[in-house]
Structure 1
Amino acid sequence: MADFRAGFPNEWQIGGQGLQNGVSQRGEIVLTPEGDIGGVLPAGAFTKRASEKLNGTIRSPVLEAEKRYVSFLVSGERSSALRLVTNNCQLNYKNYRALISPNLQWITFQIPAGAKNLRVYAELMTMFDNPKFPDQLSALGGDKANYKLPWEKAAENPRSWFGVIRVVEHETAEPPKLELGALKSLFEEFEVSSYADVADRISARITTAIEAWRTGNATDEDIAWLDGLARGGLLSISNQSSEKLSRLSAEYREIEGAIELPRVVPGLADCGPGFEQAMLVRGDCMRPGEGVPRHFVEVLSKHEEFKPEGSGRRQLAEMIASPSNPLTARVMVNRIWHHLFGTGLVKTVDDFGHVGEKPTHPELLDYLAARFVEEGWSIKRMIREIVLSRAFQLENRPSEKSSESDPYNRLLAHYPARRMEAEAIRDLILATSGRLDGTMYGMSVQPWREKENADRRLFPGPLDGGGRRSIYIKNNLMETPKFLGAFNFPGGKVTQGRRDLSNVPAQALTMLNDPFVLEQAEIW
């Protein structure tokens, strides 16, 4: 099905810095973080050629399922994984295997029935590309390490790698057998009668392997011997064996040590030709109906305007963000206005449709939308333009006449009084006590919790969040930070252009009794 010894197979998608320079050649050495030789690679795709800190992903084309099973000859360590993905579903433990051995092994999956319709593909990935990292439930087959740690703790050691040599399909459940050529060559032409004979044969075999490697003629069996001996510490391969090697090793350690943790954002890979998604009969994934042509939202465009390449997602994004599409700019400008004034020019910020409200100032909305596009879709510039306007600088006391004619101030005769948002309340308390840390960027901080729940990735942080601004407090979908949640902090499960507003006794009680407030009051 695929052989990575001569290069990356056609139609397989390759990603990550660890695979940028192609596959390894037979006999390449791998350096440890200390600069010593830590192994010898066979021909194949290995992410650790330059450093175990470099990430990598390999994604197969859709499996045709001509046979019932697929096996991968792989190795890997430290939260790298191999999986089969069905219908792009990430929440899948059945066909998910952690790679936990530096030795090559065959890992076998049964290909799901209807794989072609379900668009099943295989994927290899290092730690930071693994959506199950850290594995809180130890659910990845074969992995006994349970990372009941916050992400930042589990990621303190960023080293992770995998290697793959071959992929085969077969009819029976039994995986292919590992070849024993490295051991077979010891005795196939010689008879031994004592342990001394065995030692002599091993010594001669090692010498042959080293000489073959030196001359560039090493076989797979030679590499297996050298790699096993190197990883077992049975060869004299210190970086101090020569002055030149010591200097090069020091340079490598300096460069490798400067590699920082990657910044990971979930995204979509647009791989291979596109296809028309089938309409599922009664929502049953096993009963696909006719394909639905890819197109933009019907009420906003005509079918013939959409000419997809690949999946069509790029064209869709271009149409949404096109300067000729006024809706995107209007929606964004309206949300900025809502953020600054408490109410949008279109009050229903999440609904510009037939059941939404009409804009109070349509000409102003169009003017700001045009300015937004002209200024390169810059949110900062749009905020600057609005806050420098006369409307924003009005006092917030209404006149008697405006109170009668426009009680809801939709015509902006005065600046509307606004409720402070949850983040501003918390930050103001920290600023008052003198504990506010205005440092920008850096890792998120776990919110304070009375107790942790490691299985749900709910870990306690310092009561004051280390003084960090609220924008740096980590928000977990499982549980909103307690103090912020009392003041209508959004949960994050759905997009909200407008936050909920409530006035309940719990808010007053929070300001009176919350441990965070009491602590900051003591400091003040």
Structure 2
Amino acid sequence: VKGDAPRWIGHNLKHYAGQRVHFEFSPVGNTPFELLQVIDGGTPKQKLGERKAVSRKELHRALDDLDDGRLEARHVPHIAWLLKLGKVNLPDELLKSWQSALDGLAKEARWESRLAVSWWGGTGVDEHILERGSPQSPGERVGRNLPELLAMAPLQNRSPGRLELARQLTAKDHPLTSRVMVNRIWHQLFGRGIVSTPDNFGWLGQRPSHPDLLDYLAVEFAETHSHSIKSFIERIVLTKTFGMSSTAADPVYAEKDPDNRWLHRMPMRRLEAEAIRDSALAISGR
């Protein structure tokens, strides 16, 4: 859409009657964007010209109130818009008072926040079984639920289920999340995880080489380190296991465990380019 003038944008949805639809309104790049009204139906009866006339009338009322020294709350946005455009001048005393109040509000504003941008969960919708995969042939309606494969408890309300899924996955009594995370960290530090298939933690993956160690670290990761990856990595790299030499302490160990499955030595790993560069800069004094 080009230009600043308001206009109607229509979408003909007659070919999608009876189906669900999702609309998303967003600006293009850094261009300003404002959505004034959304109508579900045919062509709006009110024309844009009529809307402009109504707005012009409201602006005149707002200016009259301003001249009389009183301003209703519904006219404040109109005056603010006119001030922004430079179409109206306020008395010096009123302008100073307004600027002082604005500066006070700016000082009270919190410019930093621990909150993150997120999506608001929509309305939960149950899906139909599609006969032969055709969306035109909906079959029996199936109630939504959480994956039973992940040892999830059934949904207790009519919400979409995303928040419940996140809560159950990160619950202290849920064994999967902590084990998977611990195994991935171990894989990055030692070159191979306690479960050697970190991307396949199910029945088709490999069995853990040290199941008791995996359970112990998973509990420690959740309870002692409160799921802090940084704290848990520090815990592992300060152990004797991580500090072992890559050479076997006894040739017998290499004969009995040639693949180093039982970690009788530190596995040899390829040195990353970043570490080589940092070492060269440190030696050269740069």
Who is 1:429 aligned against? 277
Deviation at 1:353, TM superposition (A): 1.8
In structure 2, C-alpha distance between the alignment counterparts of 1:408 and 1:185, rounded to whole Å: 79
- Separation in 2 of the partners of 1:217 and 1:160? 28
Distance in 1 between the 2:11 and 2:179 partners?
50
| Secondary structure class of the residue paired with 1:318 | helix
Aligned residues: 278
Report Cα offsets for 1:237-291 as digits up to 9, x if no partner: 4xxx4155236426636939x886999977442123x221233444444443333
Q: Which residues of 2 match residues 351-362 of structure 1 at below 5 A?
A: 351-362=200-211
2:21 corresponds to which of 100, 108, 120? 120
CA contact (8 A) 1:337 1:343 kept: yes
Match of 1:369? 218
Alignment-derived partner of residue 312 in structure 1: 161
Q: Does 1:178 align with 2:48?
A: yes
Show the 5 A alignment for 1:338-349.
338-349=187-198
Provide, for residues 212-232 of structure 1, a one-character-per-residue CA deviation record: whole Å limited to 9, x for no partner. 455447999xx98x7886565
For 1:162, the equivalent position in structure 2 comes to 34
1:109 is matched with which residue? 11
Higher helix content, 1 or 2: 2
Question: Residue 9 of structure 2 aligns to a residue in which SS?
Answer: strand
Distance 2:80 2:164 in 1: 48
Q: 1: distance between equivalents of 2:74 and 2:233?
A: 66
Aligned to 1:151: none
How far apart are the structure 1 equivalents of 2:24 and 2:45? 18
The structure-2 alpha-carbon separation of the partners of 1:218 and 1:263, relative to structure 1 and needing over 3 Å to count, comes to closer
Match for 2:92: what amino acid? Answer: S
Secondary structure in structure 1 of the residue aligned to 2:200: coil
Partner of 1:350: 199
Cα shift at 1:390: 1.9
Q: Closer, same or farther in 2 for the Cα pair 1:342/1:112, shift >3 Å?
A: farther
Give the counterpart letter for 2:203 in structure 1: H
2-structure distance, mates of 1:300, 1:313: 14
Q: Give secondary structure in 1 for the equivalent of 2:129.
A: strand
Aligned match of 2:88: 235
Question: 1:290 is paired with a residue of what secondary structure?
Answer: strand
Tell whether the 8 Å contact from 2:146 to 2:161 is kept in structure 1 after alignment.
Answer: no
Q: Is the 8 A contact 1:209 1:218 kept in 2?
A: no
Report the equivalent of 1:288: 138
What CA distance in whole angstroms lies between the structure 1 residues aligned with 2:147 and 2:230?
Answer: 29
Measured after TM superposition, the shift of residue 116 of structure 1 is 4.8
Deviation per residue, 1:444-487 (Å, 9 max, x gap): xxxxxxxxxxxxxxxxxxxxxxxxxxxxxxxxxxxxxxxxxxxx
RMSD: 4.2
C-alpha change, 1:263 and 1:377, in structure 2 (3 Å) is closer
Note the 1:493-504 alignment, pairs <5 A.
Answer: none
The yes-or-no answer on 1:419 pairing with 2:246 is no
Higher RCO, Cα 8 Å, sep 6+? 1
CA distance in 2, matches of 1:100, 1:431: 57
CA shift digits 1:72-123 (9 cap, x unpaired):
xxxxxxxxxxxxxxxxxxxxxxxxxx5852x443332223633553x32444
SS of 2:8's partner is: strand
Residues 1:393 and 2:243 aligned together? yes
Q: What is residue 52 of structure 1 aligned with on the other side?
A: none
Given candidates 234, 241, 246, the residue that maps to 2:96 is 246
Amino acid at match of 1:210: L
Whether the 8 Å CA contact 1:337–1:345 is kept in 2: the answer is yes
The structure richer in strand per residue is: 1
Q: TM-score, normalised by structure 2?
A: 0.75
Change in CA separation of 1:331 and 1:206 when aligned onto 2, cut-off 3 Å: closer
User: Which of 270, 273, 294 is matched with 2:121 structurally?
Assistant: 270
In structure 1, distance between residues paired with 2:141 and 2:55: 57
Flag structure 1 segments of 5+ consecutive residues without an equivalent: 1-97, 128-132, 135-153, 187-201, 435-520
* 2:242 alignment partner, SS class: helix
- Residue from 215, 232, 252 that aligns with 1:382: 232
For residue 15 of structure 2, give the secondary structure of its aligned residue in structure 1. Answer: coil
3-state DSSP class of the match of 2:254? helix
- Give, in whole Å, the separation in 2 of the partners of 1:207 and 1:175: 25
The 3 A distance-change label for structure 1 pair 393 and 271 is same
1:406 is displaced (CA, Å) by 1.1
Q: Which amino acid aligns with 1:341?
A: F
1:325 aligns with 2:227: no
CA distance in 2, matches of 1:313, 1:388: 37
